[in-house]
Amino acid sequence: MSWSDPRAALVPEAHVLAGRTTVHRKEFAREAFPVWPDLTSAESAYWTGTDLADYEWRPGPIVQDGAQFVGSIRLGQAVGFIAAAHLFAVPRVGISVIPSVVGLSPSELCIAWAANVTSPDIARFVRDASREFASAAVSAAGLG
């Protein structure tokens, strides 16, 4: 079972792209991005939006959690990308959301389990995760 969700851009309110509804990933060339420690090169490419094409970027502040990630953007130290389904959790004070970024890979969630597993706990988890994701997707799309 898998889901795909577009990613949006988060920029400081005063950023030159703030207020736009659509941008291309190349418009963030040479921008600073928050840096998560101990990432593989593939993970780093995902967080900087360089997994589909090689764009220049600069390392911004090192972040350890979502609050530091968002805080670095709010303080004007970086820009970042986030799955649209998670936008509800981002305080918008000092931040502008650009909902559509062309040339950016989506966020993907996959749930897998062994075919021979018949655990009611796993079945309940998959059912509940499916329901929660569907609800979040409806809310993110502004339909709920």
CA-based nearest residue to 77, from 29, 34, 20, 25:
34
Q: What is the pLDDT of residues 36-69, one digit of tens each?
A: 999 999 999 999 999 999 999 999 999 999 999 9
What's the average model confidence in pLDDT over 74-85? 96
pLDDT of residue 134: 67
Of residues 67 and 112, the one with the higher pLDDT is 67
First to last CA, the chain: 23
Overall pTM surpassing 0.75 (yes/no): yes
What's the average model confidence in pLDDT over 18-44? 96
Angle at 56 between CA 77 and CA 102, to 5 degrees: 90
